[in-house]
Amino acid sequence: MPKYFYLAKSLEGEEKSGVMEAKDTHQLAETLKNQSFILIKGELEKGKTEKGKINFSVPFFGGVSLTERMMFTRNLQVMISAGLPLPRTLETLALQSKSKVFKKALLEIKEEVTKGKSFSETLAKYPNIFSELFQSMIRVGEESGTSEDVLKVLTRQMEKEHELRSKIQGAIMYPAVILCTMIGIGVLMLVMVVPKLAETFKELEIELPVTTKIVIGLGTFLVEKWFLVIPIIICFSFFFWIILKTQTGKKIIDTLFLKLPIISPLIKKTNSAYTVRTLSSLIASGVPIVKSLEIVSGTLGNVYYKNAVLAAAQIVKKGGKLSEALSSYQDIYPPIVFQMIQVGEETGETSSILSKLADFFEDEVSNATKNMASLIEPVLMLIIGVAIGFFAISMVQPMYSMLGAI
């Protein structure tokens, strides 16, 4: 049965939010009605459809990049602070946008705002462009009259997220280039060298070892069936993508990342940085702590961090402290997270302390990414050595066998 993130209100105006299992939105609304609450908003967990099947929508086709959304938020804040009306601001920013999808969405939002709808209400129609984090912070800014301040916080949040992503992408660029080069050289050897050696072995009628037969078979396939390579790669990638969309597949990958020696520390620091940075931004904007935790849970990619924050939200909702709720997850969060949150709870400066803690983790990620190349290089050299050794032994071994028989 699928799980829904929901927002509901009672007749007295009391708000209630959380996660609940239900067959569909009608059952969800009925369950909340029995609890004297009216369903305001209900969204399925990411990656699931109404019937719990895999969602095959691909966000990177026709999507809007983080860079473009970041520039939009920054310019929106500047133009609003200058006193420009929101509809005119949206129209101007739409004309500046390079993305057709984003331009179309902004012009449609501008039309809705002109008709009298609130900005946050229209943003909810575009969840693939504007995240729940963005929508919630804009809504709070409208309700409290602090839209300019909220946009400043959002801009900083997105800038830090972009900076963090850039550092991680830069760290994996070097090993990716090395591996692609190695694969390219391997393919050239299989296509140009192996077939000639195979013909020689066939003429001499030499009994070939299993490894040599494997190498020759692969080379023959690439030469004779080269047109099947791209479809096979596409099918394999699609199959892998489907596995990642399932809960079991996602959990296996996330577990693997948390166990790998070199990658695990970076994963933990990155997710810790995302958690405290996003939570800090939401609290600073005036979003209630429980709602903030639920939104943070939705922004995290790793299933273990997502579940940890969601479980913490349930404990805080019942009156518990956030520092105590997260302390049960010392295997994924460093102790400094609980300690600093506890200090924030005691001093009432949770937002500012979390912001400083996010700076600390982001510096740690920066240092880790700088050292990653030197850590990964020996591993890459070992992989390349094993590949070359396997190829060399497979091709040379029959020759030695032939010489030994003379």
pLDDT band at 108 (very low <50, low <70, confident <90, very high): very high
Say whether both 269 and 390 belong to one domain.
yes
Distance CA 193, CA 208 (A): 17
Distance CA 298, CA 48 (A): 13
CA 73 to each of CA 26, 91, 97, 245, 292: distance values in angstroms, whole numbers, following the listed order? 36, 14, 12, 30, 20
Q: In whole angstroms, what is the distance from residue 144 CA to residue 142 CA?
A: 6
Domain membership flag for residue 57: no
Q: What is the dihedral of CA 334, 340, 346, 352, to 10 degrees?
A: -140
58, part of any domain: no
Q: What percent of the chain has pLDDT over 90?
A: 3
Residues 140 and 165 in one domain: no
Residue 238 included in any domain: yes
How many whole angstroms from its chain centre is CA 378?
A: 28
Residue 266 lies in a domain: yes
Tell me: do 77 and 23 sit in the same domain: no
Q: Give the Cα separation of 134 and 129 in Å (integer).
A: 10
Q: What is the mean pLDDT of residues 204-226?
A: 83
pLDDT at 263: 82
Q: Are residues 136 and 187 in the same domain?
A: no
Q: Which of 114, 110, 115 is nearest to 90 (CA)?
A: 110
Interhelix angle 210-224/350-405, nearest 10 degrees: 110
Task: Supply the pLDDT for residue 107.
Answer: 92
The whole-number average pLDDT for the span 65-90 is: 88
Is there a domain that residue 250 lies in?
A: yes
24 vs 14: CA distance, rounded Å? 24
Can you give the pLDDT at residue 44? Answer: 65
pLDDT at 207 > cutoff 70: yes
Least Cα distance to 121 among 109, 133, 105 occurs for 109
pTM of the shown model: 0.65
Same domain, 215 and 355: yes
Q: What is the pLDDT of residue 247?
A: 79
pLDDT bin (cut points 50, 70, 90) of residue 50 is: very low
What is the residue range of 25's domain? 3-44
pLDDT confidence tier of residue 148, bands split at 50, 70 and 90: confident
Residue 233, judged by CB atoms within 10 A of its CB (0-12, 13-18, 19+), counts as: exposed
Total count of residues recorded for the chain: 406
Query: Cα(371)–Cα(363) distance, rounded to whole angstroms?
Result: 13
CA dist., res. 136 & res. 287, Å (int) = 7
Do 98 and 226 share a domain, yes or no?
Answer: no
Distance CA 258, CA 264 (A): 5
Q: Judge if 243 and 339 occupy the same domain.
A: yes
Q: Does the residue 56 lie in any domain?
A: no
Task: Assess whether 161 and 91 both reside in one domain.
Answer: no
Residues 77 and 40 in one domain: no
Q: Is residue 59 part of a domain?
A: no
Q: Which of 138, 156, 174 is the last residue of a domain?
A: 156
For residues 238 and 338, state if they share a domain: yes
Q: By the 8 A CB rule, do 141 and 122 touch?
A: no
The 10s digit of each residue's pLDDT in 362-392 is 888 888 777 776 777 787 888 888 888 888 8
The fraction of the chain above a pLDDT of 70, given in percent, is: 87
Can you count the helices (H) and strands (E) in the chain?
A: 17, 3
Q: What is the rounded distance in angstroms from the CA atom of residue 299 to the CA atom of residue 293?
A: 10
d(CA 244, CA 267): 17
For 144-207, the DSSP string reads HT-HHHHHHHHHHHHHHHHHHHHHHHHHHHHHHHHHHHHHHHHHHIIIIIHHHHHHHHHHHTPP
**Mean model confidence pLDDT for the chain:** 81
Residue 406: pLDDT over 70 = no
| DSSP 3-state of 65 | coil
90 and 186 share one domain = no
CATH of the domain at 80: 1.20.81.30
Q: Of 156, 179, 195, which closes a domain?
A: 156
| Contact (CB, 8 A) for 164 and 362 | yes
| Domains: count for the chain | 3
User: Is residue 121, in this structure, part of any structural domain at all?
Assistant: yes
pLDDT surpasses 80 at 190: yes
> What is the per-residue pLDDT across 217-245, written as a single tens digit (0 to 9) for each?
888 888 888 888 888 889 988 888 888 77
Based on the fold, state whether residues 225 and 328 are members of the same structural domain: yes
Last residue of a domain, one of 100, 124, 156: 156
Burial 71-85 (b: 16+ CB within 10 A, else e): bbbbbbbebbeeeee
